[in-house]
């Protein structure tokens, strides 16, 4: 799925990754980065809050806000500056950022169900949505 997303998510944008601990958010980001050409490890940003990546001319910021106690902490770390960059920002635990975060171009929700994982997508960015539906639309269950 990371590879499919890598084909669709061009340019800049914000992606929220929702789901409980261990649902597979970091693993999905790893798959996306590898498909974009990243070579090397993809560490979980649980302690660093953000891990930057550059693959050729493309920039990525992978956030994990789990340890943020107060959304104001994002102000101190210069969070808005990351969002202003020409980059793809992938944000785990966006609920910890509350009103400090902008709206997302795409929200991905992961869940465990009956021993398997379920993934759902909510697109605001219609260009991304069109590409994604062309790629995997026939395999998706549309809910609205």
Ligand X SMILES: Nc1ncnc2c1ncn2[C@@H]1O[C@H](COP(=O)(O)OP(=O)(O)OP(=O)(O)O)[C@@H](O)[C@H]1O
> Which residues form the interface with ligand X (CB under 6 A)?
19, 21-27, 44, 64, 92, 117
Cα dihedral: 115, 121, 122, 126 (round 10): -170
Please name the residue ranges forming H helices in 1-144. Answer: 2-8, 25-35, 73-76, 79-84, 126-136
Strand, coil or helix: 61: strand
Q: How far is the CB of 64 from Mg ion (least distance, A)?
A: 5
Q: Secondary structure of the chain: what % helix, strand, coil (to 5)? A: 35, 30, 40
Q: Which is nearer to ligand X, 22 or 102 (CB)?
A: 22
Binding mask 83-112 for Mg ion (x = CB under 5 A): ---------x--------------------
Angstrom distance (rounded) from CA 33 to CA 22: 19
Q: Which is nearer to ligand X, 25 or 131 (CB)?
A: 25
Tokens of 137: 């639309």
Q: Which is nearer to Mg ion, 51 or 92 (CB)?
A: 92
Binding mask 44-83 for Mg ion (x = CB under 5 A): x---------------------------------------
Tokens of 33: 């980065």
Q: How far is the CB of 16 from ligand X (least distance, A)?
A: 13
Are residues 102 and 13 in contact, defined by beta-carbon separation less than 8 angstroms? no
Binding mask 12-31 for Mg ion (x = CB under 5 A): -------------xx-----
Binding site for Mg ion (CB under 5 A): 25-26, 44, 92
């Amino acid at each position: 799925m990371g590879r499919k997303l890598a084909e669709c998510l061009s340019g800049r944008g914000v992606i929220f990754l929702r789901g409980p601990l261990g649902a597979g958010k970091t693993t999905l980001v790893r798959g996306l980065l590898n498909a974009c050409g990243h070579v090397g490890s993809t560490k979980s940003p649980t302690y660093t809050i953000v891990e930057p990546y550059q693959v050729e001319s493309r920039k990525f910021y992978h956030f994990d806000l789990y340890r943020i106690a107060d959304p104001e902490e994002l102000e101190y770390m210069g969070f808005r500056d990351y969002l202003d960059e020409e980059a793809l920002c992938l944000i785990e635990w966006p609920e910890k950022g509350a009103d400090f975060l902008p709206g997302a171009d795409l929200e991905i929700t992961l869940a465990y169900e009956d021993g398997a994982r379920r993934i759902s997508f909510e697109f605001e960015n219609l260009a991304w949505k069109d590409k994604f539906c062309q790629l995997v639309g026939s395999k998706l269950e549309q809910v609205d």
